[in-house]
Structure 1
Amino acid sequence: MQLYNKLSAQERAALIDAAGKDRITISFYKYHKIENPQLLRNKLFLEWNTLDVLGRIYVSYEGINAQLSVPSENMHALKNQLDAIDFLKDIRLNVAIEQDNKSFLKLKVKVRNKIVADGLNDDTFDVTNIGVHVNAAEFNKLLQDPNTICVDMRNHYESEIGHFEGAITPDVDTFRDSLDIIEEDLKNHKEDKNLLMYCTGGIRCEKASAYYKHKGFKNVFQLEGGIIEYTRQVNTLGIENKFVGKNFVFDDRRAEKITDDVIAHCHQCGKPADTHTNCANEACHLLFIQCDECAEKMENCCSTACQEMIHLPYETQKELRKGKHASNKIFKKGRSAVLKFKG
C-alpha cells in the first residue's frame, strides 16, 4: 500500500511531459469536524494517487484545505470521489484562472493541527458564526459604499503584486499577524462601518469573519470563493473588475494574471515588475520580485554572494548548508538587506 510519493519532482515533470495530457488546477476548503484526520488522509492519498492527482492538501480535526492538479480526463472521477464523502458533497471547486500542467509535481496530503495557521483558540468563540458571503456583483456594490472598509486578509508578498481598488493591505508576514492589527486599526468602526474582507480562495476570511464578529464587529462580509471565484464571475458574467494586477498563488505558477497592470517593482533594480522568484541558492531560497533583466544578470539569485554560491561544486554547497535552514522567514520584508528596492 503506497501512502507517500516515490517520484522526485523532476521525474514527475518528465512523466507529465511524456503523457502530453492537459491538467486542471483547482482548490477547495471545508471547515468540518473530522474525528480521524489520519484515516481521511490515507483514504484521500490512495484514491487520488490512482487518478494521478498532485497537490498540497492539509487535513485536520477542523476540516480540509486542498490545492491540487488533476488530469482533465480524471476530473469527473475526482468529483465523484468528493461527492461520496458526505461533508464534501457538491463542494465548490475553485478552478485556476491560468492553467499550468506543472503547477504541482508531488501529491502531499498532510495531517495538521489546523488547515490554516491562524494561531487562534477556537474554543473561545463560535467559529460557525461567520460573516455574510457575497458574490462578485455584491462585492463591487459594497466596495463602492462609503461606509465600507475593505481589507485584504493576505500577506504583504501577496497584496504587493495585486489587490482590490481602495483595499487596506496590511504589511504583515502571516495571517495571524493581520488579525490583531486589523482589529486595533478599526476598533472605532465596529458598529458604523461594513467590514468587507477577501483572500485568495475564501478560507482565511471564513475564520476571520467569525473572529471579528466575536470581537464585536456588527456588519461583516466576505468574498465568496475569494479572488479566484470573483475573477471567474467577472469573466463569465461581464461584471466590472475591481481587482488590479496579479493574484498570488501557492504553487509553482506563483501568480495568475488578473489584469495587465504591473503595480509592484523589481526588488533589485526598482523597475516595474511583478514576477516572484526564489533565490537559486538553496541555502537562501529567499522569495522576492525580480525583473527579467535582473534574473538573467543575477542568475535568479538575490545577491552576488548567493550567485557565487551556486557556482561552487554541489558537494561544497551541501557542506556549507549544514546546520542552516531557509525557514518561513523567506517571506519577510526587509529580511535581506541586499534587496535595495524591497518595499
Structure 2
Amino acid sequence: MQLYNTLSAKERAALIEKAGKDRLTLSFYQYAKIENPQEFRDHLFVVWNTLDVLGRIYVAHEGINGQLSLPADRFNAFKAHLDTIDFLKGIRLNIAVEQDNMSFLKLKVKVRHKIVADGLNDDTFDVTNKGVHVNAETFNTLIEDEKTVLVDMRNHYESEIGHFKNAITPDVDTFRESLDIIEADLKTHKEDKNLVMYCTGGIRCEKASAYFKHKGFKNVFQLDGGIIEYTRQVNEKTLENKFIGKNFVFDERRAEKITDDVIAQCHQCGAPFDVHTNCANDACHLLFIQCDACKEEMNNCCSTTCKEIHALPYEEQKALRKGQGNSNDIFKKGRANHLPYKKDLRNIFETLKVDRS
C-alpha cells in the first residue's frame, strides 16, 4: 500500500503538463474530534492519491485543514468521498479566486499536534464554542459600525500585500503571537466593542473567535469562509469590495489578486511591488518582496552575500552549506536587517485609538 509520494515535484509538473487537464485549487477545514489521526491520514492518502489529489493537508485530534488541487473532472468524485465522512459531509469547499495547474506538486498528508498551532495548553478552552459567522454583506455593514474593531488574524507578510480597509494588522510572524497581543490591547473593550476577525479561509478565525469568547469577549464575529469566500460573494452579488490588494496563499501561486491596488513595496529598493519570492541562495531561501529590477540586479537574491554564493559552482555552494543547517532567515518571512524597506506595522492599535490602559 503506497502511503507517500514517489514522484519529485519536477516529475509531477511534467505529468500535469502532459495530461493537459485543468485542475482546481481549493481549501477546506473542519474542527472535529478525530480519535486516530494516523489511521485517518492513511485512509485519506490512499483514496486521494487515486484521484490525483495534490496538496498540503494536516490532520490532528482537533480536526483537518486541507489546501489542495485536483483534476477538475474528478471534483465530484472527491466531493462524494468527503460526504462518506460524517464530519465532512456537505462541507463548503473554498474554490481559489485564481487557478493555476501547478499550485501543488505533491500530496502531503501529515499528522500534527494541532491543525492550527496556537501555543495554548488550556483544557477548559472549547474550540467549538465559536463566534458568530457572518457573510460578506453582513461583514460590510458590521465593519462600518463605530463600535467595531476589525482585526486581521494573519501574519505580517500576508497582510502586507493586502487587507481590509481600516483593519488592525498585527505585526506578528505566527498566529499564536497574535492571540495574546489582541487580548491585551482590547482588554478594556470586552463588552462594548464588536470584535470582528478575518483570515484567508476562516480556520484561524474559527479558533481565535472561540479563544476570545473563552477570555470574556461578548461580541465576537468572524468572516465566514475568510477572504476567499468573501471575494466570491462580492463578485456573485455585486457587493462593495472592501478588501484592497492581494490575498496571500500558501502554495506555488503565493497570492491571488483581489484588486489592482499595490499596497506593498520592494524590500530592497522601495518601489511599489507586491510579489513575494524566495532568495535563490539555497542556504537562505528568505521569503521577501523583490521587484523585477532588483530581481535582475541581484540575481533573485536578498543580499550581496547571497548573490555571491549563488554565483558559485553548485559543488562549492554545497560544500559551504555542509554542516551549517538552514539559515534562520528561512523562517523570518522578510524580517532580515539587510532589507531596508520592510514595512513596520508595529503601531497596530494606536491608529484606531484603542484604550490600552
The two structures share one fold, judged by TM-score above 0.5: yes
Measured in 2, the distance between the counterparts of 1:92 and 1:329 equals 36
Residue 326 of structure 1 is matched in structure 2 by 326
Residue 116 of structure 1 is matched in structure 2 by 116
Measured in 2, the distance between the counterparts of 1:140 and 1:108 equals 36
Instruction: Spell out, residue by residue over 1:168-204, the C-alpha distance to the aligned partner (whole angstroms, 9 max, x if none).
Output: 0000010000000011111111100000000000000
Measured in 2, the distance between the counterparts of 1:307 and 1:293 equals 15
1:152 to partner: Cα distance: 0.2
Measured in 2, the distance between the counterparts of 1:280 and 1:96 equals 27
1:311 partnered with 2:293: no
Measured in 2, the distance between the counterparts of 1:237 and 1:122 equals 41
Measured in 2, the distance between the counterparts of 1:134 and 1:52 equals 34
1:331 to partner: Cα distance: 4.6
Residue 242 of structure 1 is matched in structure 2 by 242
Runs of at least 5 residues in structure 1 that lack an aligned partner in the other structure: none
1:176 partnered with 2:176: yes
Residue 295 of structure 1 is matched in structure 2 by 295
Measured in 1, the distance between the counterparts of 2:329 and 2:78 equals 35
Measured in 2, the distance between the counterparts of 1:126 and 1:260 equals 40
Measured in 1, the distance between the counterparts of 2:215 and 2:241 equals 31
Measured in 2, the distance between the counterparts of 1:67 and 1:334 equals 23
Measured in 2, the distance between the counterparts of 1:305 and 1:328 equals 15
Measured in 2, the distance between the counterparts of 1:211 and 1:229 equals 23
Measured in 2, the distance between the counterparts of 1:218 and 1:108 equals 39
Taking structure 1 as the reference length, what is the TM-score of the superposition? Answer: 0.98
* One-letter code aligned to 1:309: I
Give the share of equivalent positions with the same residue, in percent.
76
Measured in 2, the distance between the counterparts of 1:55 and 1:12 equals 12
The question of whether the paired residues in 1 share the 8 Å contact of 2:151 and 2:198 is answered with: yes
1:28 partnered with 2:28: yes
Residue 10 of structure 2 is matched in structure 1 by 10
Measured in 2, the distance between the counterparts of 1:209 and 1:126 equals 11
1:198 partnered with 2:208: no
Instruction: Spell out, residue by residue over 1:279-326, the C-alpha distance to the aligned partner (whole angstroms, 9 max, x if none).
Output: 011100000001111112212110111111112121221221123333
The question of whether the paired residues in 1 share the 8 Å contact of 2:287 and 2:334 is answered with: no
Residue 164 of structure 1 is matched in structure 2 by 164
Measured in 2, the distance between the counterparts of 1:174 and 1:132 equals 24
Measured in 2, the distance between the counterparts of 1:122 and 1:77 equals 39
Measured in 1, the distance between the counterparts of 2:132 and 2:256 equals 26
Residue 106 of structure 2 is matched in structure 1 by 106
Residue 153 of structure 2 is matched in structure 1 by 153
Measured in 2, the distance between the counterparts of 1:198 and 1:11 equals 37
Taking structure 2 as the reference length, what is the TM-score of the superposition? Answer: 0.94
The question of whether the paired residues in 1 share the 8 Å contact of 2:286 and 2:334 is answered with: no
RMSD between superposed Cα atoms in Å? 1.2
Runs of 4+ displaced beyond 4 Å: none
* One-letter code aligned to 2:223: L
1:142 partnered with 2:131: no
The question of whether the paired residues in 2 share the 8 Å contact of 1:45 and 1:109 is answered with: yes
1:335 to partner: Cα distance: 3.8
* One-letter code aligned to 2:340: K
The question of whether the paired residues in 1 share the 8 Å contact of 2:30 and 2:63 is answered with: yes
Measured in 2, the distance between the counterparts of 1:173 and 1:45 equals 30
Measured in 2, the distance between the counterparts of 1:157 and 1:334 equals 7
Measured in 1, the distance between the counterparts of 2:334 and 2:188 equals 31
1:265 partnered with 2:293: no
1:334 to partner: Cα distance: 6.6
Residue 352 of structure 2 is matched in structure 1 by none
The question of whether the paired residues in 2 share the 8 Å contact of 1:157 and 1:331 is answered with: no
Moved more, 23-32 or 298-307: 298-307
* One-letter code aligned to 2:117: A
- Mark the CA change 1:36 to 1:328 in structure 2 (over 3 Å): closer, same or farther: farther
Measured in 2, the distance between the counterparts of 1:246 and 1:209 equals 24
1:31-70 counterparts in 2 under 5 A? 31-70=31-70
- Mark the CA change 1:327 to 1:239 in structure 2 (over 3 Å): closer, same or farther: farther
1:231 partnered with 2:231: yes
- Mark the CA change 1:122 to 1:51 in structure 2 (over 3 Å): closer, same or farther: farther
Measured in 2, the distance between the counterparts of 1:134 and 1:92 equals 15
Runs of at least 5 residues in structure 2 that lack an aligned partner in the other structure: 344-357
Instruction: Spell out, residue by residue over 1:224-245, the C-alpha distance to the aligned partner (whole angstroms, 9 max, x if none).
Output: 0000000000011111100000
* One-letter code aligned to 1:240: E
3-state SS of the aligned residue for 2:26? strand
Corresponding residue pairs, total: 343
1:122 to partner: Cα distance: 4.5
The question of whether the paired residues in 2 share the 8 Å contact of 1:333 and 1:342 is answered with: no
- Mark the CA change 1:310 to 1:333 in structure 2 (over 3 Å): closer, same or farther: closer
